[in-house]
Amino acid sequence: KAGVTQTPRYLIKTRGQQVTLSCSPISGHRSVSWYQQTPGQGLQFLFEYFSETQRNKGNFPGRFSGRQFSNSRSEMNVSTLELGDSALYLCASSLGGARGTETQYFGPGTRLLVL
Amino acid sequence: QKEVEQNSGPLSVPEGAIASLNCTYSDRGSQSFFWYRQYSGKSPELIMSIYSNGDKEDGRFTAQLNKASQYVSLLIRDSQPSDSATYLCAGGTGYALNFGKGTSLLVTP
C-alpha cells in the first residue's frame, strides 16, 4: 500500500507571498493532520480534517488554512508568508475513527524556505 | 498549555546496550501515546503506540506508560548504530498530537 505523499517536496518563496501544499493520504485513510516542524519549536499541530471538515485546530494564526476534498486529499495554504514560516510541513494520515487513537503515518514533508 | 517534555540529549550508549528514553506530559486527558523515530532530514516514523498503563513490547522495543505519574518511556534493547536518530514522544486526545522536542540518541560501535 502506498504511503502518504506530499507535494512539492521543496519550495522557496518570498515574504508576503502565499503558498499551497498538498497531501495525499494512505488509501482508505480519511483523516489528514498537518504539522509544522521547526528547530526551535519542534513539531506543532496545525489542524486535522476528516470527511472534508476541520475537526481539530491548533494555535496558529488565520493565515494558515486548509481544506480536504472528497477523495481525502488535503491542501494547506499559508497566506502573507513571514520569515518565521520557514519550516518542514508534515502531513499525517490515519483511519480517522471517532476515538481518535489510531496511529498517524507521516508523509515525507514539504520543506518551505521563506526569503 | 499541553506540553510533552523530553530530555534533548544527546544520549550516548554503546552498541548492544539498552537505551532508555523518557517523556512526561501535562495533559491528563491524553488517551494515546506514541514514540516516533526521526532520522536527520526525514519524516517521523512510528516505533510504538501505547494506550494503557503498563508495558508493551515489540521486538527490541518496550514502551511503558504510567498515567498516574504522567510518564512514558521507551527502552531499546541491543542498541544498534542504525538506531541513532531523534526519538519523538507524542501524546494527545483525538488527532491533535502534542509532541516533545525529541531526544537525540547516538549508538556508538
**What does the buried/exposed string (b/e) look like for B26-56 if buried means 16 or more CB atoms within 10 Å of the residue's CB?**
eeeebebbbbbbbeeeebbeebbbbeeeeee
B-chain residues near A50 (CB < 8 A): 95
**Dihedral-angle region of residue B42 (phi above 0 means left; psi in -120 to 50 means alpha; beta otherwise):** beta
Q: How many Å from the N-terminal Cα to the C-terminal Cα in chain B?
A: 40
- pLDDT of B31: 87
A21 touches B: beta carbon within 8 Å: no
Say whether B43 and A90 touch across the interface (CB within 8 A). Answer: yes
Say whether A100 and B42 touch across the interface (CB within 8 A). Answer: no
Nearest Cα of chain A lies from the Cα of B72 at a distance, in angstroms, of: 16
Query: What pLDDT band is residue A113 in, cutting at 50, 70 and 90?
Result: very high
Q: Using one digit for the tens of pLDDT, what is the confidence trace for B4-47?
A: 999 888 999 999 999 999 999 998 888 899 999 999 989 999 99
A62 touches B: beta carbon within 8 Å: no
Per DSSP, the three-state class of A85 is: helix
Whether the Cβ atoms of residue A45 and residue A51 lie closer than 8 Å to each other? no
Say whether A101 and B99 touch across the interface (CB within 8 A). Answer: no
Whether the Cβ atoms of residue B107 and residue B10 lie closer than 8 Å to each other? no
A55 touches B: beta carbon within 8 Å: yes
Instruction: Give chain B's mean pLDDT.
Output: 93
A94 touches B: beta carbon within 8 Å: yes
A-chain residues near B44 (CB < 8 A): 43, 90, 106
Q: Which residue has the cell 514514540?
A: B35
Q: Using one digit for the tens of pLDDT, what is the confidence trace for A15-47?
A: 999 999 999 999 999 999 999 999 989 999 999
Nearest Cα of chain A lies from the Cα of B85 at a distance, in angstroms, of: 15
- pLDDT of B76: 98
Query: What pLDDT band is residue A102 in, cutting at 50, 70 and 90?
Result: confident
Do the strands B32-38 and B85-93 form a parallel or antiparallel pair, or are they unpaired? Answer: antiparallel
Q: Using one digit for the tens of pLDDT, what is the confidence trace for A39-97?
A: 989 999 999 999 999 998 999 999 999 999 999 999 999 999 999 999 999 999 998 77
Strand partners, B74: B21, B63
Say whether A33 and B95 touch across the interface (CB within 8 A). Answer: yes
